[in-house]
Structure 1
Amino acid sequence: MFNRKKQIILLIASIVTTIMVAQEREQDTLNPDVINVIKPYTPSISDAFKVKESPTIDDDQTQTKKEIEYNIFSFPVASTFTPAKGKAAVVDKTKKVKLYDNYASLGFGSYTTILGEVYLNHELGRGENITAYVGHHSSSGNIDGNFVDDNFLDSKIDLSYTKRERDLTWMLNGGFQLQKYNWYGLPTFLVGTEIPLETVNGLDVGHNFTNAYIGGDIEFNDGIFKGANVLFRRFGDNQGSGENRFKIKGFVDVPVNNETLNTEIKLDYLSGSFERNYFNTNELNYSNFQVAISPTYQLKQDDLTVDLGATVTFLNDGEAGENKFYIYPNVSATYRVLDETVIAFGSIKGELLQNSYYDYATLNPFVSPTLFIVPTDQQYNATVGIKGKLSNALNYAVSASYKSEKDKALFQNNLMPYGFASEEAYQYGNSFGVVYDDVSTFGFSGELNVDINRNFTLGVKGEYFSYNTKAQEEAWNLPELKASIFMDYQITNQWFAGANVFYTGERKALIGFNDVMNPDFPTFINATQTVVLGDYLDLNAHVGYHLNDRWSVFLKGNNLVEGTYNKWLNTRVQSFQALAGATYKFDF
């Protein structure tokens, strides 16, 4: 090692000595005294060259840059940093709508119409409420073309008490109603001829109905007994008629071999009397008692739900002294074809319908107190259709039905007795009775409902019916076409509006004389005639404004387009009607 260092030192010393000697020799050859300048240097363009921005690299190999890797050697460090708690951004809240438990409404309109309502709801304690409703609607009538009084009145009061407990909920309710109407539907073409004017001027066609009821409901949260409801109703009039009805219905889940039968049990008792029938003074009495049981078994598999059951009914006709048994199908099914968009459904059911004076008077307040009342044997009512949701705000349903009914009640104009003086105010062709016939009905219906943000709702429904009667010439007073439209629109927080439209197609009615009491009835007189009641369109609308949380004002218009029309034969309704009023909401 030492010898190698010595050799290197000697080599360096030799190189330095050689360079120094060479410089001395060059200095010796130069003549520093005289410099002869022959011509100054004049540069030319060819001597110039451009320096390149990117010089050419003459290296044999161009080295590539090495990739640099950054490695972080982390290790845990104790930290005392505590982040601040996040705070939600402030959102502008809309004012909470104040909901009141009670309201009172009062309005006045044309034809001296008065409309009033009061609803009260008070919480007595936890799960304990009492409610009361009082309503009144009256009008002086004065319809053009009527020869007698045509005013009406409808007043009622309903009370209820509800108690919610841990295992059950029960309610008691009751009420009273008074209605006053007039048999004003005199056949105008007979006034002055068959019906003298002096008789018409002194005719008191007023009559009223009284309705008192008491009932209750109970619902159990656990156990096989699910609930029951009971009702007792006393209905009558100022013509000496009276009717009592008591019905109770219970719901029980009966376990059978680890399965459950949903069973409904019904008891329905009806009895009543009329002072006379239409043609003589013989009293009319009726009494029917029904017991029905309807067990149903539900089967579910994927998208299919089927309810299989039947209804067995026992009828005791107290007046006729007859007992009968009826068996009806009680089957229904639904199948989800396409989730909630398309749902197919179908059913075939039947029942023994308990007709009553109260039901007839509710449908047609111009009935006479001389009715013959029997139940209707609805042998079956078959329905098929589809329903579903086209969107979250759009629902639809389309269905077709066919039903067969024995002793179906049809309203028919009471024919005028010929050949003897009318003893009652309803014997001038101005009242209605009921006739029974075996009727089969084919029906088709379509329905569309729109609900957008709870500010706009729209419902449209149309129905078509085709009737086939056995004994009667026509299905009296039953329309082939019916349609309805309902709309409510919350325009702003203050303004609201709504409308409803009812369309009823043509109906067939019977008019003329009854010759049963007079064998000498002239043969050249056509005793009865079938007339066609024209269709009608009843448009009603309302608009209102909320003055504040408590006060609102409204304006209503009824029968806006059709004018005076006949809902029943010779019973013209009020034409354009307007009513204005106010509503006040409050709490105790």
Structure 2
Amino acid sequence: MNPGIYFSNHSTDMKPSIKISNITTALIAALLLTCSATRSYAQGINEQVTVTAAFEPAIPESGKLSISPSPDETVVKLPVMTYAVKPLQMETTLKPDNITPVKLVGEPVKKLYRNYARVGFGNYTTPYAEFFANSLRSKTYSFGVHLKHLSSSGKIKDYAKSSNSLNLVEVNGQKYTENHTISAGAGYRRNVAHHYGFIPAETDYEYNEDSLKQRFNRLNLSAGIRSNYTEPDQLNHRLGVSFSSISDLFETRESLISIDTRLDKRFELFDLTEYQVLGLDANLRFTGYKDSTLKQKSSIITLKPSISTEFEEYRLLLGLDFSVQVDSASKVYLFPYAEAQVRALEDAIVITAGITGGLTRKGFDNLSDVNPFIQSILPLRYTRERFTFYAGARARAGKYIDLSASFSTSSVENEGFFINDPAAQLLNRFTLVYNDGNVMKGRFEAGYHTGERIRIKAFAAFEKWSLTNDEKPWHRPVSSFGAEGTYDIQKKIVVKAGFITNGKQYAKLPSPDRSGDYLTRTVKGYTDINLGVEYRYTKLLSAFLNISNLTGSRYYLWYNYPAYRFRIMGGVSYSF
């Protein structure tokens, strides 16, 4: 169908209909303008007009503009700027405000009293008295006196007389100067014991009570000086001299002169750490010993140079121990020692590990202090600790809990162990046997405290020996543990409680026929529970009641040496 335009006229409505070809758009636009004029005059006539024509599209030629734009070049000349700065002083005024000074309100200084006395009395006819006298606060000196008496004359069922006593006098003082502290002290201690470790009804041996008595008189004197510089680059020094002596009822005497000194100073020897400390410890111990059969003199000279340093949370110590044994034959020993320490979490955790060794002498003084039932004639030897590896840690868990643990393993030569002396007819005295071996020791402690109101401490320890010549470490408990606590009720009533448990130990006894053979006996372990109450009537006057071995059990401290059963003591204390 050819393209065209159709018009239709009606009296009431006129609707155009337009058909547009895709290729005739331009021509239709022109025809519409013409038809619009014709259509305006045809109103009212009912007729149809049809226009038909051929369409020939054409595109006229156009000329392309060839224009290349070029930028306009503009030259701008900057003027030379000249200027000058004229300093002007700004006038200011300062009017400071008044600052109210800070008032430091300190805690009131607690009043001190020069004297403190305690007296009491307990079962087994046990009188007790103790007295302390001390100087008050002073920046230039301090002085103190300590007196004590404790004795018991009670009996232990089935056993021989077991009376014992302790008398003690101690005096000490210190003088403080700008850079030094000078100290001096003296003391006297008198111990009386009886060798009651047998049952009279089971022996035919005749004895008297005076032959069972033993008395130790101890005297000690000491003096020393040490520096307390505040500047870190000073030569720190310490010197101490002491004298001690002991005698008993059976003509045994021992005297010890000891000189101890230390020097140390900071240096900057290498750049790995900020500073290093060089130190030197020197010790001389001269011992004179005499009993009813023997007289001897011996000495130990020790030099211990060391170097230590710190870096951040680490601390390191290295040194050598030169020990010389001087008696009938001189010997020289060398023991290296070292220690490393790490502190973490602001010293909340401290870990230490190291190695050490040394030379000591088993003396009559310290042996009789451990076991008052020993013989007066003893084989005294040097003990050499070949090496000891040790490690330990302590920690704070919050504000109220303290923890610590330690472990060590050692190789020891000539370690002394107590056995019942086969030369004693009643087997009621002890002598020493020496042995080589290895030992492992461990200890754990825990503490809880909330100020002064509640304090609790607990511990557990073990000691395991492996000996060369004996199967057991005689009279050494394998394990021990215990705890103690204090509860302060409104600073008026103080309650104390605790216990200690020692594991079993072993005793070495001669055979009944004294043929040279020995028997092994087991000393059972025990638990001792104690309880104490103190009532503070005033800040100066209080009363106390202490109970030991609360269960009243019979246990043995040494083979055939039972302790007192249920013990109770009451008394008063006063400060003035």
Normalising by structure 2, report the TM-score: 0.77
Among 244, 247, 265, the alignment partner of 2:282 is 265
Task: Give the aligned residue type for 1:168.
Answer: H
TM-superposed deviation, 1:492: 1.5
* Cα deviation digits, residues 1-28 of structure 1 (max 9, x gap): xxxxxxxxxxxxxxxxxxxxxxxxxxxx
**Is it true that 1:179 corresponds to 2:177 in the alignment?**
no
Q: Residue 374 of structure 2: SS of its match in structure 1?
A: coil
CA distance in 2, matches of 1:460, 1:150: 32
CA distance in 1, matches of 2:452, 2:173: 30
TM-superposed deviation, 1:497: 1.9
Bigger Rg over Cα:
2
**Is it true that 1:431 corresponds to 2:438 in the alignment?**
no
CA distance in 2, matches of 1:412, 1:87: 70
* Cα deviation digits, residues 32-54 of structure 1 (max 9, x gap): xxxxxxxxxxxxxxxxxxxxxxx
What are the residue-to-residue correspondences of 1:515-526 with 2, within 5 Å? 521=515
CA distance in 2, matches of 1:561, 1:529: 31
* Cα contact 2:305–2:321 (8 A) shared by 1: yes
In the other structure, the counterpart of 1:462 is: 460
* Cα deviation digits, residues 55-77 of structure 1 (max 9, x gap): xxxxxxxxxxxxxxxxxxxxxxx
TM-superposed deviation, 1:482: 1.1
Among 571, 576, 584, the alignment partner of 2:566 is 576
TM-superposed deviation, 1:285: 3.0
* Cα contact 1:551–1:584 (8 A) shared by 2: yes
In the other structure, the counterpart of 1:65 is: none
* Cα contact 2:187–2:221 (8 A) shared by 1: yes
Task: Give the aligned residue type for 1:130.
Answer: F
**Is it true that 1:287 corresponds to 2:297 in the alignment?**
yes
* Cα contact 1:410–1:475 (8 A) shared by 2: yes
**Is it true that 1:246 corresponds to 2:257 in the alignment?**
yes
**Is it true that 1:166 corresponds to 2:178 in the alignment?**
yes
TM-superposed deviation, 1:303: 1.9
In the other structure, the counterpart of 2:126 is: 113
What are the residue-to-residue correspondences of 1:87-486 with 2, within 5 Å? 97-122=110-135, 127-146=140-159, 148-186=160-198, 188=199, 191=200, 195-196=203-204, 199-200=206-207, 204-222=211-229, 223-253=234-264, 258=269, 259-275=276-292, 283-317=293-327, 321-415=328-422, 417=423, 427-486=425-484
CA distance in 2, matches of 1:125, 1:466: 48
Q: Which runs of 5+ in 1 are unaligned?
A: 1-81, 276-282, 418-425
CA distance in 1, matches of 2:158, 2:132: 38
TM-superposed deviation, 1:287: 2.4
Say which is worse superposed, 546-555 or 299-308, in terms of deviation. 299-308
TM-superposed deviation, 1:352: 0.7
Q: Residue 204 of structure 1: SS of its match in structure 2?
A: helix
* Cα contact 1:315–1:324 (8 A) shared by 2: yes
TM-superposed deviation, 1:217: 2.1
Distance 1:288 1:84, change over 3 A: closer
Distance 1:481 1:216, change over 3 A: same
* Cα contact 2:228–2:236 (8 A) shared by 1: no
* Cα contact 2:114–2:136 (8 A) shared by 1: no
TM-superposed deviation, 1:551: 0.7
TM-superposed deviation, 1:559: 1.3
TM-superposed deviation, 1:544: 0.3
Q: Which runs of 5+ in 2 are unaligned?
A: 1-96, 270-275
CA distance in 1, matches of 2:137, 2:575: 19
Task: Give the aligned residue type for 2:235.
Answer: I
The higher-RCO structure (CA 8 Å, 6+ apart) is 1
Q: Residue 219 of structure 1: SS of its match in structure 2?
A: strand
**Is it true that 1:492 corresponds to 2:498 in the alignment?**
no
TM-superposed deviation, 1:503: 1.3
CA distance in 2, matches of 1:138, 1:333: 47
- State the Cα RMSD in Å: 2.7
Q: Residue 365 of structure 2: SS of its match in structure 1?
A: helix
**Is it true that 1:559 corresponds to 2:549 in the alignment?**
yes
Q: Residue 323 of structure 2: SS of its match in structure 1?
A: strand
Task: Give the aligned residue type for 2:227.
Answer: F
* Cα contact 1:124–1:130 (8 A) shared by 2: no
Distance 1:355 1:256, change over 3 A: farther
Task: Give the aligned residue type for 1:296.
Answer: S
Q: Residue 397 of structure 2: SS of its match in structure 1?
A: strand
Distance 1:326 1:107, change over 3 A: same
TM-superposed deviation, 1:232: 0.2
TM-superposed deviation, 1:201: 5.8
Distance 1:94 1:339, change over 3 A: closer
* Cα contact 1:537–1:562 (8 A) shared by 2: no
Q: Residue 322 of structure 1: SS of its match in structure 2?
A: coil
TM-superposed deviation, 1:392: 1.9
TM-superposed deviation, 1:452: 1.3
TM-superposed deviation, 1:412: 0.9
In the other structure, the counterpart of 2:509 is: 511
Q: Residue 343 of structure 1: SS of its match in structure 2?
A: strand
CA distance in 1, matches of 2:208, 2:492: 50
CA distance in 1, matches of 2:100, 2:329: 84
Say which is worse superposed, 374-383 or 253-262, in terms of deviation. 253-262
In the other structure, the counterpart of 2:83 is: none
TM-superposed deviation, 1:299: 2.4
Distance 1:216 1:202, change over 3 A: closer
Among 511, 514, 520, the alignment partner of 1:530 is 520
> Among the aligned pairs, what percent are the same residue?
21
Distance 1:565 1:84, change over 3 A: closer
CA distance in 2, matches of 1:295, 1:562: 53
CA distance in 1, matches of 2:290, 2:114: 42
TM-superposed deviation, 1:247: 0.5
What are the residue-to-residue correspondences of 1:70-85 with 2, within 5 Å? none
Q: Residue 98 of structure 1: SS of its match in structure 2?
A: coil
Among 522, 526, 541, the alignment partner of 2:531 is 541
TM-superposed deviation, 1:338: 4.7
TM-superposed deviation, 1:298: 1.2
CA distance in 1, matches of 2:544, 2:222: 35
* Cα deviation digits, residues 512-564 of structure 1 (max 9, x gap): 34877xxxx5xxxx943110000011122211011112111100011112522
Distance 1:99 1:125, change over 3 A: closer
Q: Residue 368 of structure 2: SS of its match in structure 1?
A: helix
CA distance in 2, matches of 1:221, 1:510: 51
